[in-house]
Structure 1
Amino acid sequence: MGEFVSGFEKMSQIGPCVSIFGSARTKPEDPQYKLAERIAKRIVEAGYGVITGGGPGIMEAGNKGAHLGGGTSVGLNIDLPFEQHDNPYIDSDKNLQFDYFFVRKVMFVKYSQGFVVMPGGFGTLDELFEAMTLIQTKKIGRFPIILVGSEFWKGLFDWVKEVLLKKHGKVSPEDLNLIKIVDSEEEVIEALDAFYKKYNLSPNF
């Protein structure tokens, strides 16, 4: 309960933000790290802040890009036995610590105006599919979910289309409209702008 109260108090003051997800294992010399950094910089230049999981890899790249762009840089850290540690690009007053994944995930969904999902592992997929499920079941309002890296994501969503949708009918055709797959920072901004041309940009709460 304390984590919820503290999180709500701090996050309610950040303004409209976009969350960036991706692997903690991505190194700074990796092209995906550099792309995430450029995407984050463009996001803050477009008037949003950036939220990440606060750790290394793609999370660090997201906070770094936001920091370099002079925008809001939020980190939602969690205590893990490996991989996770604070990165140095989070705003000092926006570095939140969590013990529980479920509380942290509420903060991502409640205070994001969009998800940008870079290549990652189980944690990244968990955040992606939970957001899709919440929107699909109308537990939250729709917001843009943008997957970056068509080569990385194509196989997974080909399987979703061919096996889940066509072969077994486990999802509906409109469920696939919840996501957009892109390859560049320009396409990310275009997707965000296209979505919010239809809606007034405001916090989700």
Structure 2
Amino acid sequence: MESREPQGPPEERRLGPVVRRRQQIQPGTTDQRLLDTTGDSDWVHTDPWRVLRIQSEFVDGFGALAELPPAISVFGSARTPVDSPDYEAGVQLGKALVQAGFAVITGGGPGAMEAANKGAREAGGVSVGLGIELPFEQGLNPHVDIGVNFRYFFVRKTMFVKYAQGFVVLPGGLGTLDEFFEALTLVQTRKVTQFPIVLFGTAYWGGLIDWLRDTVIAQGKAAERDLLLFHVTDDVDEAVALVTKETGL
């Protein structure tokens, strides 16, 4: 009868919380691989590295905005002309929000965003711009006093909601609609509470509201009460009064 030597525990190596055994053991150590500058750079394009970048964006955003006073996020088209009524409304809105005790947060770009930042700065308030990396460079407008540029849309969106007590939405395009409907969904599902949303410009937003009522709600895709989750106005003072009333500022 053939005898067998008792087998000891398998060879293993611990890399932080990860245990590797047998053929899965990697040569060298974590520090060695970190300090080895002769390796290739493919790792910067891997998902684990992207996770770290995402984490760093959250940390940078939280750090930059944590000490903001109560704020309102203002959205609107980057294509709004400087000499248009919508631009002037944005300036007046930014001023009025500051006078009511709010900081103003925008996407930091031109057009309606620039207008709200300009009004906030001229009123002596805190003017914030949260930019985004795009194929076509926009850069932060000159009226931003605190600016953060993001790689990832979803990190930026978190900042708009986390550090604002409400939204005011000027006439805008797809990006503006995206922010509006995301905020509306968060309120509808009670992911955020006491979060006023004001659409500015009854003529501009009227068709959208009609569609929500006559198509979406009429076909049972949403409830009639969902129309109560936002307000519509043409008046700057009323817009500020609505967000002030619901935030309790």
Q: What TM-score, normalized by structure 1, do the two folds share?
A: 0.92
Question: Alpha-carbon deviations, 1:59-112, whole Å to 9, x = none?
Answer: 100100000000010000111123622100011xx1101011000000001111
Is contact 1:56–1:83 with CA below 8 Å preserved after alignment?
no
In structure 1, the residue matched to 2:66 is 12
Q: Does 1:124 align with 2:176?
A: yes
Residues 1:55 and 1:120: Cα distance change in structure 2 (over 3 Å): same
In structure 1, the residue matched to 2:78 is 24
- The 2-side partners of 1:195 and 1:139 are apart by 16
SS at match of 2:105: strand
* Residue 142 of structure 1: how far off its partner (Å): 3.1
Is contact 1:49–1:71 with CA below 8 Å preserved after alignment?
yes
The percentage of aligned residue pairs carrying the same residue is 51
Residues 1:30 and 1:128: Cα distance change in structure 2 (over 3 Å): same
Is contact 2:194–2:246 with CA below 8 Å preserved after alignment?
no
Q: Does 1:177 align with 2:235?
A: no
Moved segments of 4+, more than 6 Å: none
Is contact 1:75–1:95 with CA below 8 Å preserved after alignment?
yes
In structure 2, the residue matched to 1:45 is 99
* Residue 194 of structure 1: how far off its partner (Å): 2.6
- Greater shift in the superposed pair: 139-148 or 64-73: 139-148
One-letter amino acid of the structure 2 residue matched with residue 68 of structure 1: E
One-letter amino acid of the structure 1 residue matched with residue 76 of structure 2: G
Is contact 1:25–1:83 with CA below 8 Å preserved after alignment?
no
In structure 2, the residue matched to 1:194 is 245
Higher relative contact order by CA 8 Å / sep ≥ 6: 1 or 2?
A: 1
In structure 2, the residue matched to 1:86 is 140
Residues 1:83 and 1:150: Cα distance change in structure 2 (over 3 Å): farther
In structure 1, the residue matched to 2:117 is 63
Q: What TM-score, normalized by structure 2, do the two folds share?
A: 0.76
Aligned pair partner of 2:87 in 33, 38, 51: 33
> Which structure is larger by alpha-carbon Rg, 1 or 2?
2
- The 1-side partners of 2:190 and 2:136 are apart by 35
SS at match of 1:103: helix
One-letter amino acid of the structure 2 residue matched with residue 156 of structure 1: L
- The 2-side partners of 1:33 and 1:74 are apart by 17
Unaligned 5+ runs, structure 2? 1-54
Is contact 1:77–1:95 with CA below 8 Å preserved after alignment?
yes
Size of the aligned set, in residue pairs, is: 195
In structure 2, the residue matched to 1:96 is 148
Is contact 1:24–1:84 with CA below 8 Å preserved after alignment?
no
SS at match of 1:126: helix
Is contact 1:23–1:121 with CA below 8 Å preserved after alignment?
yes
Q: CA RMSD in A?
A: 1.0
